[in-house]
Amino acid sequence: MKVLVPVKRVIDANVKIRIKADNAGVETTNVKMSMNPFDEVAVEEAIRLREAGTAQEVIAVSLGVARCQETIRTALAMGADRGILVETDVELEPLAVAKLLQAVVEKEKPDLVIMGKQAIDGDCNQTGQMLAALLGWAQGTFISKLAIGQGTAEVTREIDGGLEMLSLKMPAVVTVDLRLNEPRYASLPNIMKARKKPLERLLPEELGVDVAPRLVTLKVEEPPKRQAGVKVANVAELVDKLRNEAKVI
């Protein structure tokens, strides 16, 4: 079984986000970048499938600028077998990402696509569902457990009412939640070995995909600062403030 894992380069989760002076977007110059945390979980799950003998090959795919190869190398250091970079300077939207991944899937013909449920920059939570629709494959989203059967993927997904268990006919697309596993750290020897693993470069034009943006960002600004709360002595004072100051009752 071949497993494809898309990985995205995002601002590190521990970095405080800053807005550009012209409000055109988020500042990324000299900012630490890393792999999207949900994608780390997806890579870890794919590697575990290979270590268990269920999968034979794990391919890490990233889409974007040339420096996205650093994210692929991280996946390779974790244990992925090879990488594919679809290089473009265009700011990719979820539909464009899904179409590019569709082209890569049709080229590589994997049995399973494991990906993060969302990226922590855009928080769109759309690409996995779009990819499954374009491919006509079964999909399982927000999964917290995965088991591969005979031609099926048994998943447990988190929903508002609790947990839902599904049996997906493969090939399938699954998007993972953070509770699926704990990603490993890449050791120094594996980081060195990752430099020698194959990394293929492609262009959107070679895949026949138009990645031109369909949306225009007008302005990006921070949310308004919230006022500090106050302590009240008793219920009567609370009701008075809610009625006369907040005017919510």
* 123-154 pLDDT, tens digit each: 999 999 999 999 999 999 999 999 999 999 99
Would you give the end-to-end CA distance of the chain in angstroms? Answer: 60
- Encoded tokens for 104: 């890569």
Question: Could you write out the DSSP letters of every residue in 46-78?
Answer: HHHHHHTTS-SEEEEEEEESTTHHHHHHHHHHH
| Contact yes or no for 102/131 (Cβ under 8 A) | yes
Residue 146 belongs to some domain of the structure: yes
Residue 240 belongs to some domain of the structure: no
Among 114, 37, 113, 48, which Cα is nearest to 79's?
Answer: 48
Residue 226 belongs to some domain of the structure: no
Cα–Cα distance, 230 to 238 (Å, whole number): 10
Phi, psi torsion values for 148, nearest 5 degrees: -95, 125
According to the model, what pLDDT value does residue 7 have?
97
Cα–Cα distance, 194 to 191 (Å, whole number): 5
Question: Could you write out the DSSP letters of every residue in 190-208?
Answer: HHHHHTTS-EEEE-HHHHT
Calculate mean pLDDT across residues 22-35. Answer: 90
Residue 245 belongs to some domain of the structure: no
Calculate mean pLDDT across residues 29-51. Answer: 95
Residue 23 belongs to some domain of the structure: yes
Phi, psi torsion values for 98, nearest 5 degrees: -60, -40
According to the model, what pLDDT value does residue 194 have?
92
What is the torsional sign of CA 106, 112, 118, 120? negative
- Domain of 180: which CATH number? 3.40.50.620
Summarize pLDDT for 202-247 with one digit per residue, the tens.
999 999 999 999 988 899 988 888 888 889 999 999 999 999 988 8
According to the model, what pLDDT value does residue 130 have?
97
> Could you give the number of structural domains in the chain?
1
According to the model, what pLDDT value does residue 134 have?
97
Q: What share of the chain is helix, strand, coil (3-state, %, to 5)?
A: 30, 25, 45
Categorize the per-residue pLDDT at 2 as very low, low, confident or very high, splitting at 50, 70 and 90. very high
Residue 214 belongs to some domain of the structure: yes
- Encoded tokens for 27: 């500042």
> Residue 7 sits in which domain range?
2-219
According to the model, what pLDDT value does residue 232 have?
92
Summarize pLDDT for 184-193 with one digit per residue, the tens.
998 899 999 9
Higher pLDDT, 204 or 249: 204
- Encoded tokens for 140: 């399982």
Model pTM score:
0.86
Phi, psi torsion values for 96, nearest 5 degrees: -65, -40
Q: Judge whether residue 42 has pLDDT over 90.
A: yes
Summarize pLDDT for 72-101 with one digit per residue, the tens.
999 999 999 999 999 999 999 999 999 999
According to the model, what pLDDT value does residue 223 have?
86
Calculate mean pLDDT across residues 105-120. Answer: 96
Residue 224 belongs to some domain of the structure: no
| Contact yes or no for 48/112 (Cβ under 8 A) | no
Q: Residue type for 97, please?
A: V
In this structure, how many other beta carbons lie within 10 angstroms of the beta carbon of residue 180? 24
Residue 242 belongs to some domain of the structure: no
According to the model, what pLDDT value does residue 61 have?
97
Residue with structure tokens 């031609």?
151
Among 163, 142, 139, which Cα is nearest to 153's?
Answer: 139
3-class DSSP state of 189: helix
